[in-house]
Structure 1
């Protein structure tokens, strides 16, 4: 009995001694943490996505305070987060452009050809190990949802047609879905961008159309200077490349696409037209507005009144008539809110 009691006492004394030593050591060797680090970490999304280049949100906060990373590096935090970090650091922070993911493919189960039926692991990287994947188009989405699994914000979902869809309001532009795609068809574009080309096949004509009904065939209609006078759509090889500046500069080009390869996520109101100002462009074979309008029968010329006639129901709001009209009979109208695929409706 004495042995048991003695053992307990000895262990207790040892515990007290070592506890005192550890307490002393923690005070002597304590590393002070800059309070700004904790404050910055508290305002971060906490996704630990790594888009900033740091291993975690805490590591990012630490790197920012130490000057190793810029304060606007947190992509999910956006401009608002960068501003709050600037307040903590006592400096002005330049806002970075908010980005979002865009799936550059419209060739789902209904539109694209399959080489074979894939029954393996539901992972895009795994599918590529088998003859490069089941899609006949080498640049098409495999539709197995690796991007969905990679997104920590539930901003990417698979639709019934076997394609991933991105919810712009949930997407933070972290880029994890971009890294998760083995075919590189997901890109980050400006968050305010509502029109983009959903095809990355650099082929032309039958090379593309043989494997996908909505693939870009390189016809160049969208990049024609008459269609896109701003020059915001240009051809690089046989594939159009967009300069993301203004949605309205792209609407006519997207409408002219013969294969419906563009994604349009915004509805445009009709332009305002003051028919009283129209003089019919008497020095031209037909009014300039009628000549440049990409929508058939949207603008027509009335031989009796010698004036242009506008169908507001057919107008897509490209505003080519606004810039061409010599008497200012047309005025632009602001975009409508909400997502409507008006181009598909009016074709």
Structure 2
């Protein structure tokens, strides 16, 4: 019994000594934190998405307060509203932030896209892509296992019944986490004001692309020929839209009418209808 008491006394004494040492060190080497850092962190969305280029909201808050060369508009999810508040707190000038949204460049549903084999394994796009590029015949298309959905910190994506992810325009902040998580580079951030979009990511030649997916862009170039402003080019057998030219000059999306597979679509019906009553959306 005496031994037990002595052991407890010794351990208690050692603990007290180390406690005093830590307390002294804490006071001796404590660093004062700029209160502006906490103010900035409080107004950030707390998505910890890393779109700003820093490891979370706290890291960006510290950088934007302590470093003169870090701009106040790096929080993509926060958009202009947060950028202006950060600018006010830090005394910096906030350049305008262009809102963006995730665009799923694939319409290869289970009904339209062929499979090269039946996959049985971890239900994850990155894991599936390691086996012959994934089960989908088109090796550029969405695998459809929802890795992008699980990576979205704002709950802006869900898996549709057709096996493809669906973006909620109201919730999407354009942070880019889903874009980073996709092993096929199917997801792309585009301007929320984009007029038209290409719902395909295939780089295969026309005949092959059409065989693997009935909704694929076949690189025929009809959309480019019907664009009056040169906003569309065919690169690597895929139509690519220059959104800046399209948004600034186009008032009638004539490119939509000639697409034989319907791979090119109106990106935002509200904007299209607002800017022109003659936008053709029927393929």
* Same structural fold, with TM-score higher than 0.5 when normalized by the shorter chain: yes
Distance of 1:126 and 1:235 partners within structure 2: 31
Matched, 1:242 2:207: no
Q: Whose helix proportion is higher, 1 or 2?
A: 2
Q: 1:38 to 1:203 in 2, by over 3 A?
A: same
**1:118-197 pair list within 5 angstroms:** 118-197=119-198
Report the TM-score, using the length of structure 1 for normalisation: 0.72
Distance of 2:143 and 2:73 partners within structure 1: 34
Distance of 1:4 and 1:203 partners within structure 2: 77
2:64/2:90 contact within 8 Å kept: no
1:204/1:216 contact within 8 Å kept: no
Aligned residues: 277
Matched, 1:31 2:34: no
1:216/1:239 contact within 8 Å kept: yes
Question: Considering only CA atoms, is the larger Rg found in Structure 1 or Structure 2?
Answer: 1
Q: After superposition, what is the alpha-carbon deviation per residue over 1:142-173, rounded to whole angstroms, capped at 9, x for unaligned?
A: 11111111111111111111111111221111
1:257 corresponds to: 259
Q: After superposition, what is the alpha-carbon deviation per residue over 1:272-302, rounded to whole angstroms, capped at 9, x for unaligned?
A: xxxxxxxxxxxxxxxxxxxxxxxxxxxxxxx
1:232 corresponds to: 231
Q: After superposition, what is the alpha-carbon deviation per residue over 1:160-197, rounded to whole angstroms, capped at 9, x for unaligned?
A: 11111111221111111111111111111112225200
2:252/2:278 contact within 8 Å kept: no
Higher relative contact order (Cα pairs below 8 Å, separated by 6+ residues): 2
What displacement does 1:202 show? Answer: 2.4
What displacement does 1:76 show? Answer: 1.3
DSSP 3-state at the match of 1:219: coil
Q: 1:208 to 1:15 in 2, by over 3 A?
A: closer
1:106/1:199 contact within 8 Å kept: yes
Q: 1:218 to 1:21 in 2, by over 3 A?
A: closer
Report the TM-score, using the length of structure 2 for normalisation: 0.87
2:206/2:237 contact within 8 Å kept: no
Distance of 2:181 and 2:72 partners within structure 1: 26
Distance of 1:191 and 1:217 partners within structure 2: 26
* Structure 2 portions without partners, runs of 5+: none
DSSP 3-state at the match of 2:212: coil
DSSP 3-state at the match of 1:263: strand
Distance of 1:120 and 1:4 partners within structure 2: 56
Distance of 2:84 and 2:165 partners within structure 1: 32
Distance of 1:155 and 1:250 partners within structure 2: 30
Distance of 1:143 and 1:18 partners within structure 2: 55
* Structure 1 portions without partners, runs of 5+: 272-314, 319-341
Q: CA RMSD in A?
A: 2.7
Distance of 1:117 and 1:18 partners within structure 2: 61
DSSP 3-state at the match of 1:70: coil
Q: 1:26 to 1:249 in 2, by over 3 A?
A: same
Matched, 1:206 2:212: no
Distance of 1:9 and 1:50 partners within structure 2: 49
